[in-house]
Amino acid sequence: MSRLTIAASTPLCLLQDAGRFGVRHLGVTQGGAADGCSMSWANWLLGNGLDLPVIEITLGGFAVVAEEDCLLALAGADLGAQIDGQPLAPWRSFKLSKGQTLKFTQPLLGARAYLAAPAGFDAPKVLGSSATVVREELGGLDGMGLPLIKGSTLSYRGESRRVREVPLALRPDLKSNVPLDLVLGAQIGQFSGQSLFDVFNSAWTLDSRADRMGIRLLGKALAYQGQPMISEGIPLGAVQVPPDGQPIVLLNDRQTIGGYPRLGALTPLALARLAQCLPGAQVRLRPVVQDVAHREHIEYLQRFSE
């Protein structure tokens, strides 16, 4: 067994995996990595299963000290990672010698970095997953949903000698301003014509009121003209429109049901890009049909076998 000691952390640094499935009928949300693409690449670098537990580091402020020589992997945002003061770029596996400190300072590009270990970090499974959901007190190192704290120990049991990088052509472009793909939902036709024009032809600003439950988009108020709704199930990436007309994109720690009308849902690839955007960033939405979104996701999954 290999160990890392946490030398610094924040409430935004969490142990995550792909999330919980098959439990929403119990009122339990999905959880899991906000940027599932970067999580998968971090695991891929070490030859892990793509859904194994990793550390999700949001905005920096995290550091670990190696208790033994080890090989780790880093993907996602550039949070100014350093090994004993020397810069470490993401999208690669790397060696950390006994006694060395890996430190994440502040966002240089993107918002969330993912640190992986061979065979995944050790943590108990609660309802089939180790994903941390603080609100529901589920997952994490102790199974009780606590964020990672200074002085705690991260352990893993696997071994890897895979020192490699994600090819440039396969890395997600965190600088991209390509519109976020939105699969149209059942209530889309019940918004006013002007609102439908504004949704897809205006820039939306990410509000500072954001967490792992959802991100509010600020822009022109949208007008829903349909009948009041009965609460229904909420998928990952659903874009709800409350009475103030400002859309909310629901993320991994969202509630399981809701009664606000929905424009639709962002695709998993669009959600991964959104998870790397900082408050104040501007995004645009682009309508897609489900068949197109599904085909693009299959093409994305095939990259891991290249």
Residues 29, 148: Cα–Cα separation, whole Å: 20
Residues 38, 253: Cα–Cα separation, whole Å: 18
For the segment(s) 180-305, the CATH number from 3.40.50.300, 3.40.1620.10, 2.40.100.10, 2.60.40.10 is: 2.40.100.10
User: What is the value of pTM for the model shown?
Assistant: 0.96
> What are the pLDDT digits (tens) for 35-94?
999 999 999 999 999 999 999 999 999 999 999 999 999 999 999 999 999 999 999 999
Residues 204, 216: Cα–Cα separation, whole Å: 9
pLDDT of residue 306: 64
Residues 213, 162: Cα–Cα separation, whole Å: 35
pLDDT surpasses 90 at 95: yes
pLDDT of residue 63: 98
Provide mean pLDDT across the span 202-206: 97
Among 9-13, 15-19, 94-98, 229-233, the range scoring the smallest mean pLDDT is 229-233
Distances (CA, A) of 72 to 85, 88, 162: 17, 12, 9
Helices marked H in 12-138: 36-44
Provide mean pLDDT across the span 131-147: 97
- Domain spans of the chain? 2-170, 180-305
pLDDT surpasses 90 at 305: no
pLDDT of residue 8: 98
Q: What is the mean pLDDT of the chain?
A: 96
Residue type, position 96, single letter: L
pLDDT of residue 280: 96
> What are the pLDDT digits (tens) for 239-295?
999 999 999 999 999 999 999 999 999 999 999 999 999 999 999 999 999 999 999
Residues 286, 122: Cα–Cα separation, whole Å: 39
What values do phi and psi take at 96, rounded to 5? -125, 115
Q: What is the DSSP secondary structure assignment for residue 178, as one 8-state letter?
A: P
> What are the pLDDT digits (tens) for 246-259?
999 999 999 999 99
